[in-house]
Structure 1
Amino acid sequence: MKCPCSPQKDYADCCEPYHLGAAAPSAEILMRSRYSAYVLNKTNYLYKSWSQSTRPTKKSLKQDQANQWLGLEIIRTEQGTVLDSQGVVEFKASYLGDGGVHSLHEISRFIRENTRWVYLDGEY
């Protein structure tokens, strides 16, 4: 199976290790694994990879899975490496929803919690 975040890679060699519990080594890799989790409807991973201070309930995550995700484009990253405590990833994700194909353009902020990268919030 090809990985949703990067179709030229196999899922087993890309996002699956993070979905199974490995710590993402950077904010960008966490963002990519979260996109793949949305595509594959892995709400438990989305919940666990969201900051405790801003994450929604598990129930609301499960209810928010109606879109069919079509592709991911990383626009830029700032910080978010092994040496940092915070990072930013700007991306566009296309999806099929009510009324046709749409694009989600977000600047996401990531922080470290207990040595692991987590999603904090984003601006659209």
Structure 2
Amino acid sequence: DDINAVLFNQHQSIGCSIEAPLPIVSWRTEAIEYELFKGEELVYLPQCIIFSNGAIAYVIVVMGDEYELRIWPDYSNRDREKHHWFSHHAIVYSAELDVFKQSFEALLKHIKKENDYEKKHPKFSKDTPLSDS
């Protein structure tokens, strides 16, 4: 439920900054397939929530009702070769999990605050015209 609260938040955001160990957050609400390397098979990118400190990323990978917690050490490498794209691995240390938990809790607080604000000040309402014409 918490993961879906982020992915499908009421204010339709796809990212934000939070006060947490991993302050840069973005998410993909739909799974996609795309050609990562010309002429090779398509790569599947599932729904995900990405937390980063600018150097490394911690990712919640969502597939249906299942999720995995992953670390992607080559996240900030813009000159990626094939092995960099697939260098993510599972969390293995409790300290890594603690960073994830702290950041996710901060994100949930932020989403709740934004959703509460959206309820009071909706971007679109029945009474608000979409254009002046």
Structure (1 or 2) with the greater strand fraction: 1
TM, length-normalised to structure 1: 0.34
TM, length-normalised to structure 2: 0.32
Larger radius of gyration: 2
